[in-house]
With several copies, the nearest count.
Chain A
C-alpha cells in the first residue's frame, strides 16, 4: 500500500493551483509524469556540484560525473533485471530507442518476404518505424487484431506468428486504453519460430514490475519522463549477444575507439551506441527516479494503479448508459488508464471543461490513431493515473464529467 498523502508532499507541482485557485489534478501521467523533489534536486546537484563531460576526463568533476552517470546505468539495469549494464543504451526517449533497433538490427535481419508482427494497440512510435522497415525491405507488416473488449484477439496467433516472422514488436501496456498484453507468452511463441522480440515498455516499466529475463525479450524500450524522471532521457535494453553483433547507429565522438581520416573502429559496449555528449543530467535524474520507485516498490505502484482503476470503473457505472469506456473490464488486465467517450460531449469540450476545474486529462488519439479510429470515434478522453493520484481525484473527475454533461448534454451529439 502506498502512503499517497506522504508521496504527494514529494511532488512540488501537486500543490500548484491552476487558473484562479483550482488545485491541480494531474490525470495525464501516461503523457508525462510529474517529478518528485529528489529527482529535481539530483539535477540541481549535478549542475551546481559536478557538471562535467563524462569519460576520459582526468579531473575531479569528470571523474565524479562519469561515476554518477554509469551508476545510473547500473540502476536501470538492475531495475529491469538486465544481465549487465552493458546492455543499457541511453537514448532520448522510447521513440528513439525503437528507431535505433529499426536502423540497426532490422537492417541486417529483416529481408524480403519476412514478416514483422505488431499489435493493433501500438503507439505510433512502435508502428511507423516498422512500416518503413517493411516497405524498404519488402517485408510484410502484420497486425494482431483486437477482440471486442480491445484486448488482443489471439485466436489466430499461431498463424500470425509463423516461420516467416522475424520480429514481434509489441506494447506491454497500452497508453491509449490501458490494456496489459501477455508479452511473456507471446515472446515464447516468437522464440519458438526464431523471431526476435521487442517490447515497448513506455507504459509498463513505470507502472509495474518488468523483468527482461522473465519476459525473455531481445529489446525493451522506455522513457524516463513517464517514470518520474527527466525529459530527454530514454532507455534501450538489448540482450547482450545481440548487442555485440549490432552495427552502431549514430556516429561521432565517444562511440569510437580509433579514428583516422579514412576509417574508424568502435568503442566497447554500451558506449558504441552513444554518440556525442550524452544527457548527463538526464541519466542521473533517471537514476534518482529509479531510487524513488524502488523505495516504494513496483508491486505497490502497480497495485495502487489497479485500485484507482477499479475505483474509476466502479464510479463511472453511474454513467454507464451513455459513457462508452474502452478496454477490458477487469482492472487486473488494464490499469492506470481510463479512456472513454460520451456521444453528447466532444472530448475537446470535455477536456476544456475539466481543465477549468484544474483537472488535466488528454483528449484525442493519444498517438494511436488507427486504434482510436477502429473504436469508431474521432477521439477519446483519457484519464491516466500514477502513484500520486487519489480516489478523491477520480471523484472530482466524475463530478467534472457530470458538470460537462449538464452544460452540453442535450443530445446534440458530436456528429454534424
Chain B
C-alpha cells in the first residue's frame, strides 16, 4: 500500500503539528521579524521574535501559507527556538540544513532536538526539502537583523 511508505514522510508528529501549529499568533511586541517566500510553490512565512535581556528568545510568532512539510517544520522550529540564544539557534539551523542535505554526522545527532527529528523523512523527497527549509530562512533573516546578530 503506497500510503504506508508515505508515513515515513508524513510522520504523526508532522501531521499533528500541521493540524495544530504552535506559536501561530502574531506577536504585537517583538524585537525582530523575518519573512521568506518561495514563489515557485506560493509558500510564505512571516516570523516575529521577542528576546529577553540576555538575548534569549522568549516568544515566537509564525504565520504563513504552505504545505504540511513547510507548516510542520515551522511549527517545530518555533518550539525549538524558544529559550535559545541566537548563537544556539544558528547551530540548530545549521544542523537542520545538514540533516536535509544527508550529512551523516547530522544524522548521528538525531536525538537531541525533540520533534525536529521527524523532518528526517523529507530527505527522501528532494523537491520538498525547500518546503521544510523555508521557515528556517525566515529565522535566519530575523536573527541577522538583530544588533548582536
A-side residues, CB < 8 A to B, are: 19-20, 22, 56-58, 62-63, 66-67, 257-258, 346-349, 352-353, 356-358, 364-365, 369, 372-373, 377-379, 403, 407-408, 410, 412, 414-416
Contact = CB atoms under 8 A, between A and B. Distances in A.
A393 to B, nearest CB: 15
B64 interface: yes
A63 B127 contact: yes
Contact of A352 (B6, B63, B66): B6
17 contacts: A19-B5, A20-B5, A63-B127, A349-B10, A349-B67, A349-B69, A356-B2, A357-B2, A365-B39, A365-B40, A365-B42, A372-B42, A373-B42, A408-B18, A412-B18, A412-B19, A416-B74
Nearest to A408: B68
The 10 tightest CB contacts between A and B, nearest first, are A378-B42, A346-B67, A348-B67, A416-B64, A258-B39, A356-B2, A357-B2, A379-B42, A412-B19, A416-B63
B68 A63 contact: no
Contact of A416 (B6, B15, B66): B66
Contacts of A257: 39
B22 to A, nearest CB: 12
Contacts of B9: 352
B65 A416 contact: yes
B24 A353 contact: no
B19 A22 contact: no
A258 B99 CA distance: 28
Interface of B: 2-3, 5-6, 9-10, 15, 18-19, 21, 24, 37, 39-44, 62-69, 71, 74, 125-128, 131
Question: Most chain-B CB neighbours within 10 Å: which of A58, A349, A353, A416?
Answer: A416
Contacts of A379: 41-42
Given A412-B18, A414-B67, A22 B42 contact: no
A349 B68 contact: yes
Given A348-B41, A364-B41, A416-B65, 7 more contacts: A20-B5, A58-B128, A348-B67, A348-B128, A353-B3, A364-B40, A408-B15
A56 B71 contact: no
A356 B66 contact: no
B126 A407 contact: no
Give the one of A62, A372, A415 with max B CB within 10 A.
A415
A403 B42 contact: no
Contact of B42 (A58, A377, A412, A416): A377
Contacts of B127: 56-58, 62-63, 66
Contacts of B42: 364-365, 372-373, 377-379
Contacts of B69: 348-349
Nearest to B75: A416
A210 to B, nearest CB: 30
Nearest to A356: B2
A73 B126 CA distance: 18
Nearest to A379: B42
Given A357-B2, A378-B41, A407-B10, A414 B66 contact: yes
Contacts of A57: 127
A258 B24 CA distance: 27
A369 B19 contact: no
A47 B11 CA distance: 34
Nearest to A347: B67
A352 B125 contact: yes
Contacts of B24: 416
Nearest to B130: A56
B37 to A, nearest CB: 8
A294 B97 CA distance: 33
Contact of A407 (B6, B39, B44): B6
Contacts of B21: 416
A379 B24 CA distance: 22
A263 B69 CA distance: 30
A22 B2 contact: yes
Nearest to A350: B67
B39 A415 contact: no
B128 A356 contact: no
A373 B37 CA distance: 14
Contacts of A372: 42
